[in-house]
A and B are shown apart, each in its own frame.
Chain A
């Protein structure tokens, strides 16, 4: 079986598992929403301030939600030792990782699709005319978040206190991603929206670096 087909099979399994309960998605959306709402109590921003702080708030909410949501990706394989079964399948270890990365990417994107309109309404940010570019920026940022997050979820699944450990590992690593994602989103929320090429290229570079590293290191990551 080729890596792509095997990854698609793992992806289908992850999606089926999630859409039977939808508990992960629901929890993620509600958590991110809570962050967005709490922020408005903490800072009580005026419309101009919303435009200034909005991109940062949005990405902080995504990063926090992601660092919680990505935890079960590997740890829920542990209760029935199902990761061993996956490893025994005649597929490459990158296929397993890629399937899980894609599944997490889809979950995170779905959460964002629900959250961004609510954010736009609550903080009076107009999305008209920038939706295509915003989706592009969100996709690049989310890919970087899910690639590193899925790999670290595989690492922290073996540790004690893994729910606490994953954010500790993930958040510092994501600093460059946060800066680039916030800056490119801010350029879109500005009076004259534009796609900031430097930061978008930086986001793409981040994704490529860590996707390549995951591909190179996944055999070591998945071994028993």
Chain B
């Protein structure tokens, strides 16, 4: 892919500009002062996480329908990326909450949902690690992924009905939300920059997973042949692989 290097450089410049804008261009918030600037990365990572998990849901359904292993690769790449974004959100959130709310953590609807989301997708990754057969791994983790996606709205709804403390959105809050126009622009830049980084990483991770799948399938095929013939699987099949021109 020729466009890769320029795109990587462009993304690097973009994320650098976003960091600069968030720290020096955006005006200081009236009551929260400097700590509010963490928000320029908190919200974008949350948006990126949400997009990543939407991609995962789509990929899981598409895998079960088409049985094409590329959807499985996209699914696991999306989950890993989503978990990273989720972790960023879960770290930047308490850093902001300690000075502003006076506590690190509270069992509020959005916080709890994100935490459960994180646990669910960590479980997804654990499940993949514990399944051997590549076909089973892909199909069963897709089923679990769909169940997890269905669970998210329920987790949110149940916590919402229960109690909530997270600040209400001011970004799309209309005229009277008190958002400075510069803040809005800086935030938009940050969202775009973080998004570009995520897409770049997702594409790379996806390609890596395709290669890994191929390796796994070859290894699995060798091992099952070895078991059938009763000989040392790896040694017996090595020359055959060499001849096939791999």
Chain B residues near A176 (CB-CB < 8 A): 151, 154-155, 157-158
Q: A161-B130, A213-B150 are in contact. Are A183 and B155 (CB under 8 A)?
A: no
- Shortest distance between the CB of B105 and any CB in chain A (Å): 16
Q: A169-B144, A209-B154 are in contact. Are A179 and B162 (CB under 8 A)?
A: yes
Inter-subunit contact B143/A183 (CB<8 Å): no
A107 adjacent to chain B (CB < 8 Å): no
Inter-subunit contact B64/A202 (CB<8 Å): no
Contact code string B136-158 (vs A, CB < 8 Å = 1, else 0): 10011011101110110011011
The dominant DSSP class at the B interface is: helix
Chain B residues near A162 (CB-CB < 8 A): 130
Chain B residues near A61 (CB-CB < 8 A): none
Chain B 120-171 interface residues, beta-carbon cutoff 8 Å to A = 120, 123, 126-127, 130-133, 136, 139-140, 142-144, 146-148, 150-151, 154-155, 157-159, 161-162
Contact code string B96-129 (vs A, CB < 8 Å = 1, else 0): 0000000000000000100010011001001100
- Shortest distance between the CB of B171 and any CB in chain A (Å): 27
Chain A 144-179 interface residues, beta-carbon cutoff 8 Å to B = 148, 151-152, 155-156, 158-162, 165, 168-169, 172-173, 175-176, 179
Once the chains are docked, how many angstroms separate the CA of A180 from the CA of B151?
A: 14
Once the chains are docked, how many angstroms separate the CA of A128 from the CA of B67?
A: 55
Inter-subunit contact B136/A158 (CB<8 Å): yes
Once the chains are docked, how many angstroms separate the CA of A38 from the CA of B188?
A: 52
Inter-subunit contact B146/A213 (CB<8 Å): yes
Once the chains are docked, how many angstroms separate the CA of A90 from the CA of B140?
A: 23
Once the chains are docked, how many angstroms separate the CA of A210 from the CA of B126?
A: 22
Once the chains are docked, how many angstroms separate the CA of A161 from the CA of B147?
A: 21
Inter-subunit contact A220/B143 (CB<8 Å): yes
Q: A151-B147, A159-B127, A160-B130 are in contact. Are A172 and B116 (CB under 8 A)?
A: yes
Once the chains are docked, how many angstroms separate the CA of A210 from the CA of B146?
A: 10
Chain A residues near B136 (CB-CB < 8 A): 158
A206 adjacent to chain B (CB < 8 Å): yes
Once the chains are docked, how many angstroms separate the CA of A137 from the CA of B157?
A: 19
Once the chains are docked, how many angstroms separate the CA of A162 from the CA of B151?
A: 22
Q: A209-B154, A220-B143, A223-B139 are in contact. Are A179 and B159 (CB under 8 A)?
A: yes
Of all chain A residues, the one with the shortest Cβ separation from B112 is A175
Inter-subunit contact A210/B147 (CB<8 Å): yes
Picked from A151, A160, A172, the residue with its CB within 8 Å of the CB of B132 is: A160
Once the chains are docked, how many angstroms separate the CA of A131 from the CA of B124?
A: 39
Contact code string A177-195 (vs B, CB < 8 Å = 1, else 0): 0011001000000000000
Chain A residues near B155 (CB-CB < 8 A): 175-176
Chain B residues near A158 (CB-CB < 8 A): 131, 133, 136, 140
B positions within 8 Å CB-CB of A: 64, 112, 116, 119-120, 123, 126-127, 130-133, 136, 139-140, 142-144, 146-148, 150-151, 154-155, 157-159, 161-162
Interchain Cβ contacts under 8 Å between A and B, 23 examples? A152-B147, A155-B127, A156-B127, A159-B131, A160-B132, A161-B130, A165-B130, A169-B144, A173-B148, A175-B112, A176-B155, A183-B162, A198-B161, A202-B157, A202-B158, A202-B161, A206-B154, A213-B150, A217-B143, A217-B146, A220-B143, A221-B140, A223-B139
